[in-house]
Chains A and B, each alone.
Chain A
């Protein structure tokens, strides 16, 4: 066993968990951490449920109440539910699809550490005066410092924690997508993925785009906090009197749009993995195949696409017009229909089944029931006239807990379902059932009364005395629900020692590949190379793989070709394979340990904490400056160390790679990342346009000094275009093996890029210090909303240029030492990024200099 641990210490050793990059270890880390945040958020919830025992503030002060509800929402939605699901995704998806690990194991570990540290950072915010208290939806302008009492440090930290969390999600999305498109077992087409993996695939697609929009919102919000831009505030008032106007009529609506453009897909992001677990366990515990599997998947695809077109149903009470309301009502109702189909599909799967009421199934069956209630009450909200009244009340609270916590219920089922696989031990079935009974009763006692007492406004502790009894029932239910987790934790913990051996699979009729290997699976997951070529799972020995690579395999007599849809061009699979087939042997020696992901996470944590001490452009204390410095050095140093560390993530000799067989995995990863970056810039540009339209397209010019001229922008356009051209030259030179040409071209790129930044710095410097009648104090970041959008959007682009230059400098040094000759791939990937940055500028230039 230990000889297969690839340089990792044994699991009993603490250091293993800091070094590991293995997907199964990372999965367990995710699960345990997510449960920790569940407890954290849960305790806060119990706190305010106790506060709600009677109307009025007895236990918590007003501001602590607001802090608790806000932190509870943020913790549960961000730090608990999705990461919990991604614990399973990490553990199970590679097994289900026949991969040895994710495409980028160290990035996977990095995702985890960014996640953990972002959560810890959020925890720290409680100790900086007060944490963010404006609700998990963070509506503007309550989310900007002007409206946060006693300094906004804690709130800033909370926002930065979210930024870090989004970074984790983005890295993880890129990783999963690359993995799932390129590393499936031979013969496993995309459509053949087990249903849980399908649900994760679609979740990840939604995450990639939705979180990019959230990232834009959060970056802008942090800028409002840290450098004092004015995106999210219309005017600043102090004790009723307006002390400052900014000219930003769109401020509040902009936040609502950005947030809900993310927020609605987010509800499916948290729910899809739960759907996957439901379908998976219904099949197993009913001993039936999913009814209408194809339609089930199609429904999910439709929902995933449409989820980006319903966000304004959260804004029915703003001043959006009737036409828009109509459209969004229609899309909202439209998106609820595929769920009907999915629910019926689950229900019909039970028919002719051999249903066994084991704990996992109890939880997922319960989850289906809760979701039905949640879905029906969601249709109420989709009826706009009803929504007008439900908005801001406990109806919404009850609805989304039925759907979201209903979804989490399925995930708890998943925990029991995969526990034997992860630990090799069986949990105690009786305690499991007790757990479920307490959970289900507690849940309904907690949330159902909220429908009855729906007239209670959301996020208040004052409510009508007549509703008291319902709130008291809810509080009791909350305590029961909380207690059910004690049973769960006890059961799962004690079973680690006392549990019976689980064997490969304790579940009759389970079909997916994770059940075909030992529990827990060995480091390399499979006893041979998994293949579905013959229509069902088999493990190929090394000699069989070698034979197939030589071409013998294609001549085998298995009449039915499972790849008939063109899913696999066997030829291409072989091409790739010949380059890498030796790696099946190297695997034994590969070192899967790396401390750098942890170090990067730690560095980012320190940096972000330091950054929170910068308020409106001034740093509040030397300790923050120190944190910022140390954090920056640690982050950068670890990133460099990580790049330099020899680390080899093997690719299987035979794998299904449709449709990306010809796209190397790094390149695919880069594409996926750039796709999310497009959304990020799209959101920035969209925000600018939205603000400008709201202000008046022409009147906008009054906010800009005459000194803001086109020339610097035009020069920069030429600089960037030329530099893009030079990257292409560098690539050509490297292909030809001309070291001199490569280095020269890269140096040229570097010089032009630096020129771009210097030119920009001069331009900004000039604008900061203009002295005109209209702008006696200069035109800086916080002068007005036009200056804010200008500096921030072009600044984000400038930051992209700067990052590109760091990479370019690194590559120049390597090229000088002879790298890339005859092997220009790395330059090509850098080029992709650089061209992209270039193209973005082609949009920014007219927008900010000409129009």
Chain B
């Protein structure tokens, strides 16, 4: 019942069909136009968290379904065709010792079920691909986005704001703003992730990676390191604080602009 409800929820959402039917370019330009014309902030943007939620649900439902059916069918067959004492003599041709291996019959059935599974898998992946294009290309559509540099250190996270302000351990962002992270590392390979906001990317020394999110609810979100980086790895956390836009602006104005750097400990 739970799944049925979920499935219905998802199907009632327009963007579900949208992503099913449109290629990303079409979807993107549609969304882009929407944004240019009407929106002042990114509150209506389909954030990675929404994208993930939908896909994950569909995969879970279908995955469970396929798994249950296939496993049940396997067990059913093995039980149905179990050896029985005193069974009537049969006409089945059974393998014998020393024969050269050959195929058993049933090739058609094999291809039929293979094709069905292939169709399921390919259509699922095809669908998620449109969302991948969306996730990859969306930030470029938002010139008013907020860009933050994230630097991994053993064992803390440093955030550098556009004005040069640098803070360790806490990232503050305004609500409903598309935040683009630019990640790198000062020492070893880390991975920055905020599970609830569904944002995650590697932080690699000598390289820059990007990821984005939109905080649609104010509050504090836990961030972790997802790549083993040494003895303090388990404790390498940070907090993302999503603030009301005014409160954020007020706070941001108190930070020193320009290139001055001040470390804020949480």
Q: Please list the residues of chain A having a beta carbon within 8 angstroms of any beta carbon in chain B.
A: 57, 62-63, 65-66, 69, 133-135, 139-142, 147, 149, 187-188, 192-195, 234-235, 237, 240, 242, 248-253, 283, 286-295, 317-319, 322, 325-326, 329, 333, 336-337, 340-341, 343-345, 347-357, 365, 368-369, 372-373, 376-377, 379-380, 382-386, 388-389, 391-393, 455, 457-462, 505, 509-513, 515-516, 532, 535-538, 562, 694
- Residues of B with C-beta under 8 A to A694: 206
Q: Is the CB of B96 within 8 A of A379?
A: no
Q: Please list the residues of chain B having a beta carbon within 8 angstroms of any beta carbon in chain A.
A: 48, 51-52, 55-56, 59, 63, 66-67, 70-71, 73-75, 77-79, 81-83, 87, 92, 94-107, 109-110, 113-114, 117-118, 121-122, 124-125, 128-129, 131-133, 135-137, 153-154, 186-189, 191, 193, 195, 198, 200-202, 204-211, 224-235, 237
Known interface pairs A62-B232, A391-B226, A536-B98. Does A386 touch B55 (Cβ–Cβ under 8 Å)?
yes
- Residues of B with C-beta under 8 A to A66: 228, 230-231, 233
Q: Which of A195, A319, A348 contacts B101 (CB 8 A)?
A: A195
- Residues of B with C-beta under 8 A to A537: 97-99
- Residues of B with C-beta under 8 A to A142: 188-189, 228-230
Known interface pairs A240-B153, A511-B95. Does A348 touch B231 (Cβ–Cβ under 8 Å)?
no
Task: Specify which of A252, A384, A391 lies most central, judged by the most chain B CB atoms within 10 Å of its CB.
Answer: A252
Distance in Å from the Cβ of B158 to the closest Cβ of chain A?
A: 9
Q: Which of A289, A333, A385, A392 contacts B132 (CB 8 A)?
A: A385
Q: Which of A287, A333, A352, A535 contacts B95 (CB 8 A)?
A: A287
How far apart sit A248 and B205, CA to CA, in the bound complex (Å)? 9
Task: Specify which of B104, B186, B201, B232 lies most central, judged by the most chain A CB atoms within 10 Å of its CB.
Answer: B104
How many residue pairs bridge A and B at CB < 8 Å?
A: 299
How far apart sit A389 and B198, CA to CA, in the bound complex (Å)? 6
Distance in Å from the Cβ of A408 to the closest Cβ of chain B?
A: 19
Q: Which of A62, A139, A290, A383 contacts B128 (CB 8 A)?
A: A383
Q: Is the CB of B56 within 8 A of A289?
A: no
Q: Is the CB of B224 within 8 A of A355?
A: no
Q: Is the CB of B104 within 8 A of A250?
A: no
Q: Which of A192, A291, A372, A459 contacts B70 (CB 8 A)?
A: A372
Q: Is the CB of B70 within 8 A of A457?
A: no
Since A291-B109, A322-B132, A537-B99 are in contact, a sample of 17 more A-B pairs with Cβ atoms closer than 8 Å, ordered by chain A residue number, is: A62-B234, A63-B231, A142-B230, A192-B100, A240-B153, A249-B206, A253-B207, A283-B95, A287-B83, A288-B95, A292-B106, A343-B70, A348-B110, A351-B106, A354-B87, A384-B128, A389-B193
Q: Is the CB of B98 within 8 A of A391?
A: no
- Residues of A with C-beta under 8 A to B96: 509, 511, 536
- Residues of A with C-beta under 8 A to B52: 385-386, 388-389
Q: Is the CB of A295 within 8 A of B110?
A: yes
Q: Is the CB of B78 within 8 A of A516?
A: no
How far apart sit A194 and B98, CA to CA, in the bound complex (Å)? 10
- Residues of A with C-beta under 8 A to B82: 354-357
Q: Which of A283, A348, A368 contacts B106 (CB 8 A)?
A: A348
Q: Is the CB of A288 within 8 A of B94?
A: yes
Distance in Å from the Cβ of A329 to the closest Cβ of chain B?
A: 7
Q: Is the CB of A235 within 8 A of B200?
A: no
- Residues of A with C-beta under 8 A to B55: 383, 385-386
Q: Is the CB of B95 within 8 A of A62?
A: no
- Residues of A with C-beta under 8 A to B71: 369, 372-373
A-B contacts, 7 of them at CB < 8 A, read: A134-B228, A135-B228, A293-B103, A295-B110, A318-B202, A340-B121, A379-B124
Q: Is the CB of A532 within 8 A of B100?
A: yes
Q: Is the CB of B114 within 8 A of A354?
A: no
Q: Is the CB of B188 within 8 A of A141?
A: yes
Distance in Å from the Cβ of B133 to the closest Cβ of chain A?
A: 8
Q: Is the CB of B104 within 8 A of A290?
A: yes
Q: Is the CB of B208 within 8 A of A319?
A: yes
Q: Is the CB of A242 within 8 A of B186?
A: yes
Distance in Å from the Cβ of B12 to the closest Cβ of chain A?
A: 21
Task: Specify which of A57, A337, A515 lies most central, judged by the most chain B CB atoms within 10 Å of its CB.
Answer: A337
How far apart sit A606 and B121, CA to CA, in the bound complex (Å)? 51
Tell me the nearest residue of chain A to B236, going by C-beta. Answer: A460
Distance in Å from the Cβ of A525 to the closest Cβ of chain B?
A: 14
- Residues of B with C-beta under 8 A to A538: 98
Task: Specify which of B81, B105, B153 lies most central, judged by the most chain A CB atoms within 10 Å of its CB.
Answer: B81
Task: Specify which of B56, B114, B208, B235 lies most central, judged by the most chain A CB atoms within 10 Å of its CB.
Answer: B114
Q: Is the CB of B104 within 8 A of A141?
A: no
Distance in Å from the Cβ of B123 to the closest Cβ of chain A?
A: 11
How far apart sit A341 and B103, CA to CA, in the bound complex (Å)? 14
Q: Is the CB of A385 within 8 A of B191?
A: no
Distance in Å from the Cβ of A628 to the closest Cβ of chain B?
A: 30
Q: Is the CB of B97 within 8 A of A365?
A: no
How far apart sit A535 and B101, CA to CA, in the bound complex (Å)? 10
Distance in Å from the Cβ of B73 to the closest Cβ of chain A?
A: 7
- Residues of A with C-beta under 8 A to B114: 337, 340-341, 344
- Residues of B with C-beta under 8 A to A283: 95
Q: Is the CB of A252 within 8 A of B204?
A: yes
- Residues of A with C-beta under 8 A to B87: 354
Q: Is the CB of B201 within 8 A of A251?
A: no
Known interface pairs A140-B189, A147-B187, A325-B132. Does A392 touch B227 (Cβ–Cβ under 8 Å)?
yes
Q: Which of A235, A291, A354 contacts B105 (CB 8 A)?
A: A291
Q: Is the CB of B81 within 8 A of A147?
A: no
Q: Is the CB of A289 within 8 A of B70?
A: no
Known interface pairs A333-B121, A511-B98. Does A355 touch B67 (Cβ–Cβ under 8 Å)?
no
How far apart sit A204 and B71, CA to CA, in the bound complex (Å)? 31
Known interface pairs A317-B201, A325-B132. Does A459 touch B206 (Cβ–Cβ under 8 Å)?
no
Known interface pairs A139-B189, A385-B51. Does A513 touch B98 (Cβ–Cβ under 8 Å)?
yes
Q: Which of B77, B94, B229 contacts A287 (CB 8 A)?
A: B94
Known interface pairs A319-B209, A369-B71. Does A392 touch B234 (Cβ–Cβ under 8 Å)?
no
- Residues of B with C-beta under 8 A to A513: 98
Known interface pairs A142-B229, A369-B74, A509-B95. Does A249 touch B101 (Cβ–Cβ under 8 Å)?
no
Q: Which of A333, A356, A373 contacts B125 (CB 8 A)?
A: A333
How far apart sit A250 and B205, CA to CA, in the bound complex (Å)? 9
Q: Is the CB of A295 within 8 A of B107?
A: yes
- Residues of B with C-beta under 8 A to A368: 74
Q: Which of B121, B193, B230 contacts A336 (CB 8 A)?
A: B121
- Residues of A with C-beta under 8 A to B229: 142
Task: Specify which of A253, A289, A293 lies most central, judged by the most chain B CB atoms within 10 Å of its CB.
Answer: A289
How far apart sit A459 and B187, CA to CA, in the bound complex (Å)? 19
Q: Is the CB of B206 within 8 A of A373?
A: no
Q: Is the CB of A354 within 8 A of B207?
A: no
Q: Is the CB of B234 within 8 A of A57?
A: yes
- Residues of A with C-beta under 8 A to B131: 385
Please provide the 9 A-B residue pairs with the shortest distance between their CB atoms, ordered closest to farther.
Answer: A392-B226, A537-B98, A289-B104, A249-B206, A234-B206, A460-B234, A293-B103, A383-B128, A234-B205
